[in-house]
Amino acid sequence: MARGKFNKRGGGPRFNAQSAEEIEQRNSRLAELDEQRALRRADSDEEEDGKDGDDKDKDKKEEEEEKKPEKIVHLTRKQREEKQKEAAAAAYRKKHEAGLTEEYKRDMAKLAEVRARREAAQARAKAEQEATEAAEEERKKKAAAMGASSEKSGKNKEKSSEKKKKSKGDDDIPKLDKIAIKKMKPAQMKEALKLRGLDIQGNAKKLTERLVKYESERS
């Protein structure tokens, strides 16, 4: 019995042909396998080529995009006006912060005027307070002076009254001379001293001296 040839290309099991029909079937099968293998290889190559082509096209497009100048954005009229307003407002704000606008100058002038009025009002209030305090101090001094004068006048009046009373009382008391006083006993001298409003303490000599002095001043 003849043996079939070993085919390494398929990597499959050995095929032993027994007849011409089997050999034909084997050859047909091998041809089909070869055809399928060739198709798969061709598809794989096309996929690789397609992938490489896509990558190349992508890289090329990116390079072209990078080389292109910036795209010009076309704004509408309203958008342009808004942009202009924003730019003008920013410029004015910057100028105002630097103190270069008329509005800033007017604001500073008003602020200075308000500050001046406030300072003037404070100065007036301080002057009025000082004047009030000075007037009150002067009033107190005058009141104290008047009180002292009144007190002095009262004391003088009191002294004058006492003097008058004393004088009037002395007139009612009989006048004693020195000889009459020396002849008086201590009890008599005490009575005379008491009548004249004098101190009655002491010995006979002290009582005599006190009464003699009083009587000598009456003359």
State the SS3 of the chain.
CCCCCCCCCCCCCCCCCCCHHHHHHHHHHHHHHHHHHHHHHHHHHHHHHHHHHHHHHHHHHHHHHHHCCCCCCCCCHHHHHHHHHHHHHHHHHHHHHCCCCHHHHHHHHHHHHHHHHHHHHHHHHHHHHHHHHHHHHHHHHHHHHHHHHHHHHHHHHHHHHHHHHHHHHHHHCCCCCHHHHHHCCHHHHHHHHHHCCCCCCCCHHHHHHHHHHHHHHHC
pTM of the model: 0.30
Distance CA 126, CA 75 (A): 66
Do 210 and 199 touch, CB atoms closer than 8 A? yes
Q: What is the pLDDT of residue 133?
A: 92
Question: On the CB side of 7, how many CA atoms lie within 13 Å of its CA?
Answer: 18
Per residue of the chain (219 residues), give pLDDT as tens.
445 444 444 444 454 555 667 667 777 777 788 888 888 887 776 665 555 555 666 666 666 655 555 555 678 989 989 989 999 888 888 888 888 888 888 888 898 999 999 999 999 999 999 999 999 999 998 888 887 776 666 666 666 655 555 554 566 778 888 888 888 888 888 888 888 888 888 888 888 888 888 888 876
